[in-house]
């Protein structure tokens, strides 16, 4: 059993090196997880920490998941992470948070006022088979631009609550390795895979970062000024940014620009 798990990790790291599309990489990771008993993942990272002061967790996190659609619908796509009870401890630096522990045990004083929200979401989670699993802290990458944190939630709905510890003991290390591979792939190797900016949008942001006015960008890219404005609006949406400054800053710190 041990050897097979190791083999799965090695095979994944080999095949990730050969992937060409982002969809492929994501599917490969999902397959690897599946073989070890994980039937749903939710991966996210936070490019700009300063946003956290005035925006919700869902707004500031680049997030992608393979959890049941009914679960996402029940919570609402715009609020997926806002009442995720594993998020506050994760941001405090806790590295493993089990889902089957009742949230009351984990909640800290400062989120007391939102307690009912967390409780509601926890119940929704239970209804949709999201009650067994674990949230992992993946990385605090300190580069020239400070800290970027990322984390992943692994859902193991086929495993009974009381068996989880035993399961984790066997598979935990391998699952962490797979998660590290996925983290490197989507944050460092191919960060655009989760944002999906097209070349035109990247060009516009690059020129904006280098200080060109809309008019100049329009001239250089042979487009109308209106098209440039629309392009920035699309980029803002994809980056979940509020202003153009914000979109440029976010794209820069994610590593999408090379001005």
Partner 1 sequence: MNFHNSIIELSDFVRGDHSLDSVWRKCSETFAEVGIDGIGYGIIPFRSEVFLQGSSNAVMFRHSYPQGWADDTGPQGLLDNDITASLLVSGRDDMTWVDSDDLLETANIPTEDRRRFATQDAIDRAYKMNQGVTVALDIDNTHGVTSGMGLRNSTMSDLEFVTFWNIHRGYLKAICSILDTSIRKDHLPSYVGLTTTERDCLNFAESGRQFAEIEYLMRLSEDQVKKTFSRCRKKLQAKTRDHAVAKALVLGLITP
Q: Which residues here bind partner 1, judged by CB under 8 A?
A: 47-51, 53-55, 143-148, 206-213, 241-246, 248-249, 252-253, 255, 258-259
At its nearest, how many Å lie between partner 1 and the CB of residue 245? 4
Nearer to partner 1, 55 or 64 (CB): 55
Q: How many CB atoms sit inside 10 A of residue 57's CB?
A: 19
User: In this structure, are strands 62-65 and 40-46 parallel, antiparallel, or unpaired?
Assistant: antiparallel
Joined together, the tokens standing for residue 41 give 């993942």
> Cβ contacts of residue 176 below 8 Å, gap of 6+?
136
Nearer to partner 1, 158 or 215 (CB): 215
At its nearest, how many Å lie between partner 1 and the CB of residue 213? 7
Nearer to partner 1, 161 or 216 (CB): 216
Nearer to partner 1, 176 or 236 (CB): 236
At its nearest, how many Å lie between partner 1 and the CB of residue 203? 11
At its nearest, how many Å lie between partner 1 and the CB of residue 176? 26
Question: CA 122, CA 134: separation in Å to the nearest integer?
Answer: 14
At its nearest, how many Å lie between partner 1 and the CB of residue 240? 9
Nearer to partner 1, 43 or 232 (CB): 232
């Amino acid at each position: 059993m041990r050897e097979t798990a190791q083999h799965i990790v090695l095979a994944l790291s080999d095949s990730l090196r050969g992937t060409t599309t982002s969809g492929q990489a994501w599917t490969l990771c999902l397959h690897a997880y599946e073989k070890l008993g994980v039937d749903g993942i939710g991966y996210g990272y936070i490019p700009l920490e300063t946003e956290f002061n005035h925006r919700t967790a869902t707004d500031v996190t680049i997030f992608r998941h393979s959890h049941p659609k009914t679960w996402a619908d029940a919570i609402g796509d715009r609020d997926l992470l806002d009442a995720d009870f594993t998020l506050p401890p994760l941001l405090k630096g806790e590295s493993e948070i089990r889902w089957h522990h009742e949230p009351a045990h984990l909640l800290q004083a400062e989120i007391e006022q939102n307690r009912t929200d967390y409780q509601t979401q926890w119940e929704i989670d239970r209804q949709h088979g999201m009650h067994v699993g674990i949230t992992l802290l993946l990385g605090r990458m300190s580069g020239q631009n400070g800290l970027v944190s990322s984390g992943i939630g692994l859902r193991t709905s086929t495993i009974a609550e009381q068996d989880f510890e035993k399961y984790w003991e066997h598979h935990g290390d391998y699952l962490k390795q797979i998660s590290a591979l996925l983290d490197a792939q989507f944050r460092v190797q191919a960060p655009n895979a989760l944002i999906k900016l097209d070349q035109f949008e990247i060009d516009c942001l690059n020129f904006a970062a280098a200080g060109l006015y809309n008019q100049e960008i329009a001239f250089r890219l042979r487009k109308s000024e209106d098209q440039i404005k629309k392009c920035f609006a699309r980029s803002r949406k994809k980056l979940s940014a509020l202003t153009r400054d914000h979109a440029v800053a976010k794209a820069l710190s994610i590593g999408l620009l090379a001005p």
